[in-house]
Amino acid sequence: MSFLKILVVFSFLFQLFSCNQNKNTTTTNQDTMSTGTIRVSVDETLKPLMEAEFNVFAYLYPLAHLEVSYKPETDVLNDLKNDSARAIIVTRELTTNEMEYYRSIQYIPKSLPFALDGISIIVNKNNATDSFTMPQLKEILLGTSKKSLFVVFDNSASCNIRWLKDSLLKNEPLSKNCFAVKTNPEVIKYVSEHENAIGIIGTSWISDLDDSNATNRLKMIGRARIALTEKDEYLEPFQSEIKTQRYPLARTVYCIQRDGKLGLGTGLQHFLYGEKGQIIVLKYGMMPYKQAERSIHFNLQ
């Protein structure tokens, strides 16, 4: 074989080997729906529920690694925007302006609802007032109520503040009798120690009666009942009331992810919306977004 032919063959084999190496490297670095590593940002209001979800997900998919951070809603949404997280868990859809931004960078996040939640209003055990109508709650938040109560939130960037501003206050400012601490447990502790305080927290912090942490928190405070108007029934955020939307402070929980392919972010969505993820939602006193199908077979023989 001439020197020229040897050179050509060697060149071909080198290029083929290089291509295979690149292909193998790319495949190794990419995740699948059940393997890989992604960062996930979660609204701190939903922490008890999502810790349970992630624990089961990790058990079922040992090659999937979720690097989870719990933050206020504003920070969680910024993580998605800045590509600091591939998936987020929040209590609202992306707004029109947010979607326009993602379209401007030629990317559209995929949003999937997987749970129905409710905001809980908590009161001190010695507080004589344990029920409110929505107009009364609005007056308290605006500082126009005759009741000498002050309101404590979990965080100034909380989804609970945002929800109440959007749905109840219609963007009117909160009064000076409203302030924020840092976390939902801090809200519970503060309300337990101050008779004239009411707290706004996520229901999953006190909804799982099989969890000693949740039951201990419930022993510290009372859970207020809410009615749409004085003519309506006063309700707590139980599953049946959240399901029928009779509870006035009900909301939907979403998993939003940036995967443009069938990657681990998509796998997480499928798990949360699937049977196992929905059972965990049910156990935590919230309503699964997807109702389980029940098949009944009749033997006519």
Q: How far apart are CA 31 and CA 67, in angstroms?
A: 14
Residue 78 forms part of a structural domain: yes
Residue 282 forms part of a structural domain: yes
**Statement to judge: residues 135 and 214 lie in one domain:** yes
Alpha helices in 82-180 (DSSP H): 96-104, 134-142, 159-164
138: CATH: 3.40.190.10
Residue 208 forms part of a structural domain: yes
Residue 296 forms part of a structural domain: no
pLDDT tens per residue across span 72-127: 999 999 999 999 999 999 999 999 999 999 999 988 899 999 999 999 999 999 98
**Statement to judge: residues 137 and 229 lie in one domain:** yes
**Statement to judge: residues 155 and 141 lie in one domain:** yes
**Statement to judge: residues 97 and 40 lie in one domain:** yes
pTM for the full model?
0.85
Q: How far apart are CA 44 and CA 182, in angstroms?
A: 10
Q: Are 151 and 140 within 8 A, CB to CB?
A: yes
Backbone φ and ψ for 66, nearest 5 degrees, come out as -105, 120
pLDDT tens per residue across span 116-152: 999 999 999 998 888 999 999 999 999 999 888 999 9
**Statement to judge: residues 123 and 112 lie in one domain:** no
Greater model confidence, 3 or 238: 238
**Statement to judge: residues 242 and 123 lie in one domain:** yes
- The closest alpha carbon to 241, from 208, 203, 205, 278, belongs to 203
Q: Which residues pair with 21 in a beta bridge?
A: none
How many structural domains is the chain composed of? 2
Q: How far apart are CA 289 and CA 272, in angstroms?
A: 10
Residue 239: which domain range? 118-251
